[in-house]
Amino acid sequence: MKPKPRRRMVSSPGHPKGSGPRSIVLEHVVIAERALGRYLPDGVQVHHVDGDASNNANRNLVICQDQTFHNLLHVRTEVLRAGGDPNAERLCFRCGLKPIEDFPVVYASGARRGTCRACFRAYVRTLRGGVPQLTYSKPAPMVELVAFIKRVCA
């Protein structure tokens, strides 16, 4: 497995997001701020186009409005690298490229992200041991629960 490239830190005295007495900040953030002409607002992410965290050239950095947009860039880049069309396909990490319709909605929490519906169902079946789990629409009233416990324990 290829080692992850190290992110470079630089001293930027007076930087609002700096840490420590010398105000240490990630180098790619400082470069993006210089290109923009001001500090980046909270929640903004800086994306490396080629995926190399050590390549901080201006042409390799994209300022993303939030983490969601940053994640979208990574998902689309993975599809392109696999030879697919990012407007029509997504990459299932279990079975490869599939039409975008085969994927459930991606939630903000990242739930069910990265697998198509078929692979997700297969994964859930393995967790259940092939047996469907019972689901309850509402909890049993306390009186019924007490009666059940008395019957079982008697």
Q: What is the mean pLDDT of residues 13-38?
A: 88
Answer whether residue 131 is part of any domain. no
Query: Would 123 be classed as within a structural domain?
Result: no
3/45: higher pLDDT: 45
Q: Has residue 121 been placed in a domain?
A: no
Q: What is the pLDDT of residue 110?
A: 46
Residue 128 lies in a domain: no
Could you tell me what percent of the chain has a pLDDT over 90?
Answer: 30
The answer to whether position 70 is within a domain reads no
Residue 45's domain comprises 9-65
Three-state SS annotation for the chain? CCCCCCCCEEECCCCCCCECCCCEEEHHHHHHHHHHCCCCCCCCEEEECCCCCCCCCHHHEEEECCHHHHHHHHHHHHHHHCCCCCCCEEEECCCEEEEHHHCCCCCCCCCCCCCCHHHHHHHHHHHHCCCCCCCCCCCCCHHHHHHHHHHHHC
pLDDT: which is higher, 146 or 1 = 146
Contact (CB, 8 A) for 13 and 25:
no
Q: Is residue 116 part of a domain?
A: no
Predicted pLDDT of residue 48: 93
The pLDDT > 70 percentage for the chain reads 73
pTM of the model: 0.67
* Structural domain total, the chain: 1
Q: Is the pLDDT of residue 150 over 60?
A: yes
Asked if residue 52 is part of any domain, the answer here is yes
- Residue 4, pLDDT > 70, answer no
Is the confidence at residue 111, as pLDDT, over 50?
no
Q: Residue 17: inside a domain, yes or no?
A: yes
96-122: average pLDDT: 75
Local confidence band at 13 (pLDDT 50, 70, 90 cut-offs): confident
* Average pLDDT of the residues of the chain: 80
